[in-house]
């Protein structure tokens, strides 16, 4: 026969396990919400970046056509070079910004 004392110990163990499980679930849900927000933010930033790129496309094409009229360089080649240079500069700035943020944490 099981004594009252051993039953009380088992009940206490179950209560402790329950509390630990609740804490873990709460922490996991906070992590999930945090990751979800980061993902949504990244998607929104990407959408805005795409809009910016579309608006600059016409400016770059007009500039390339203007230079094409004054030189013998092909417009498509010039456009590709300009877009590449702008992209490289943007990547360098973003990489430096992210690295600085990581160091400050």
- Total domains in the chain come to 1
pTM for the structure as a whole? 0.49
Give per-residue pLDDT as tens, 24-56. Answer: 888 888 888 888 888 888 888 888 888 888 888
C-alpha torsion angle, residues 41, 101, 52, 83 (rounded to 10): -130
User: Which structural domain, as residue segments, surrounds residue 20?
Assistant: 4-104
Q: Which of 95, 98, 91, 81 shows the shortest CA–CA distance to 49? A: 91
Could you give the 3-state DSSP secondary structure of residue 81? helix
Band of residue 102 on the pLDDT scale cut at 50, 70, 90: low
Q: Residue 55 has what pLDDT?
A: 84
């Amino acid at each position: 026969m099981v004594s009252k004392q051993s039953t009380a110990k088992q009940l206490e163990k179950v209560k402790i396990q329950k509390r630990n499980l609740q804490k873990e679930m709460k922490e996991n849900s906070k992590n999930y919400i945090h990751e979800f927000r980061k993902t949504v933010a990244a998607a929104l930033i990407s959408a805005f970046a795409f809009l910016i790129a579309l608006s600059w496309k016409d400016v770059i094409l007009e500039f390339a056509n203007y230079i094409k009229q004054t030189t013998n360089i092909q417009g498509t080649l010039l456009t590709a070079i300009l877009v590449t240079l702008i992209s490289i500069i943007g990547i360098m700035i973003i990489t430096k910004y992210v690295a600085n943020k990581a160091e400050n944490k």
